[in-house]
Amino acid sequence: MKPIIYLIFMLLFLSSCDDVIELNLKDPQIKYVIEGMITNQPGVCRVKISQTKDFNENNQFNGVSGALVQVESNGVTVTLSENTTGIYQTDKINGAPGVTYRLTVKINNEVFTASSTMPDPVPLLDFTLKPGDYEPTRATPKIKFKDVATATNYYWFQQYINDVIQPQYKVFSDEFTSGQEINEYLVFENRTKDISKDMVRGDRLTVEMHSIEAPVYTYLSSLFNANGSADGAAPANPVSNINGGAIGFFSAHTVERKTIVIP
């Protein structure tokens, strides 16, 4: 099996916190960060726009207001509304597998574009936790799904504790597991010194399984690598599927979700 990349970064547009991407120390240019998604859940279409900051600046979200954000599919164009500063949404698009969605973002005189075709969903078969297989700071449930052999598939797993998104997530491809049943562990844990965030009986653990495209997989993987290598090399900006010079990604993906409760 191809080694699974275990990521410890929070995806910005899904986070309950407002984070920013830090640029390569060798690149002082301020850039726009565009993070957008459409899912197969009704009315889920959201784009988050911000700007990068210098390495030594604070981590406060730097939302960009006043952009024109549009998504087109099958000849129909929908304009997203800015609900809060830098957050653009619409409930007029219901994503569907096999459909290509094209994003256009206009900020002042700059135009950024991206496209993404939603893959077919792959069912999440099981999400289990053995009795006693947890401690106050950690739980290790197992996911199970059957890869589809007729296509090259890429997966992204996000994790929630009591509906709060967690910084850990996993992505991997089926390069060496095509058509196989996959059983893999996820780690839910409190990595802080705040004992109030320890897990207790009755806590809900939720996993979201996304079928994603190769460019999104590449972005998520390179986001991890952007933190720098073990040999001390300078970090690089993640590989984006946004055209026009912005950082970020646009993804049309499916959602499969399961929840278990710590007994």
Q: Which among 47, 17, 4, 51 is positioned nearest to 220, based on CA atoms?
A: 4
Confidence of residue 25 (pLDDT cuts 50, 70, 90): very low
Q: How large a percentage of the chain has pLDDT more than 90? A: 69
DSSP letter at 150?
Answer: T
Average pLDDT value for residue range 148-177? 92
Q: In terms of DSSP H, where are the helices of the chain?
A: 214-225
Count CA within 13 A, CB hemisphere, residue 154: 18
Average pLDDT value for residue range 138-151? 94
Least-confidence region, from 7-16, 17-26, 111-120? 7-16
The tens digit of pLDDT for each residue in 189-220 reads 998 899 999 999 999 999 999 999 999 999 98
Q: Is the predicted pLDDT of residue 129 greater than 70, yes or no?
A: yes
Domain edges within the chain:
7-118+229-253, 124-212+257-261
Average pLDDT value for residue range 159-174? 91
Q: Is the predicted pLDDT of residue 4 greater than 60, yes or no?
A: no
User: Phi, psi (5° rounding) for residue 187?
Assistant: -115, 120
Confidence of residue 238 (pLDDT cuts 50, 70, 90): confident
Q: Which long-range contacts (CB under 8 A, 24 or more apart) does 79-84 make?
A: 80/45, 80/46, 80/47
Confidence of residue 59 (pLDDT cuts 50, 70, 90): low
For the chain, what is the mean pLDDT? Answer: 85
pTM value is 0.83
**Residue 226's pLDDT is what?**
61
Distance CA 222, CA 22 (A): 14
Confidence of residue 236 (pLDDT cuts 50, 70, 90): low
**Residue 30's pLDDT is what?**
83
Residue with the larger pLDDT of the pair 47 and 10? 47
Domain 124-212+257-261 is classified in which CATH homologous superfamily? Immunoglobulins (2.60.40.10)
Confidence of residue 49 (pLDDT cuts 50, 70, 90): very high
Confidence of residue 169 (pLDDT cuts 50, 70, 90): confident
Confidence of residue 235 (pLDDT cuts 50, 70, 90): low
**Helix, strand, coil share of the chain (percent; to 5):** 5, 45, 50
H helix or E strand, kind and range, residue 73: strand 68-73
